[in-house]
Structure 1
């Protein structure tokens, strides 16, 4: 299933309380449960005035539906083309 990074503009996101984050998470989980399609919320990062979320879903349209149903912004949705990390350096050609 494709993986997407969702950029959400949320002014003051880095100042949200633990209770606020808990409520956002609960709302997201409820929407995921009601979507009726395979969907996995992998993780989210709170940074400045943004949330960066990593989700697996059949399409960007399903990501948008999740956002609309939950009342969350989805300012940019980008499909992940590849995942790399430190060990990727040793997997190149000629290694």
Structure 2
């Protein structure tokens, strides 16, 4: 199943309280449970006025459906084609 990064513009995202994050998470989990399609929400990063979410789904349309049904913005949905980090440099030696 492809992985996607979802960019959500949410003013004050980095200042969301633990209670607000709990409510958002519960809503997202509820929507995922009701989608009726394979779907995994991995985690979300809050930075500035944005949330960056990592999801797995069969298509970007499923991501947009999750956002619509949850009442979440989904300003940009991009399929993740590759992942790398510092350890990647070790594989070319």
TM-score of the two chains, using structure 1 as the length reference: 0.94
> RMSD across aligned C-alpha pairs, in angstroms?
0.7
- 1:38 is displaced (CA, Å) by 0.7
Paired residues, number: 93
| Structure 1 segments (4+ residues) deviating >2 Å | none
Counterpart Cα distance in 2 of 1:9 and 1:61: 19
- 1:86 is displaced (CA, Å) by 1.5
Counterpart Cα distance in 1 of 2:67 and 2:6: 10
Gaps of 5+ in 1: none
In structure 2, what is the equivalent of residue 86 of structure 1?
86
Gaps of 5+ in 2: none
TM-score of the two chains, using structure 2 as the length reference: 0.96
Counterpart Cα distance in 2 of 1:35 and 1:90: 41
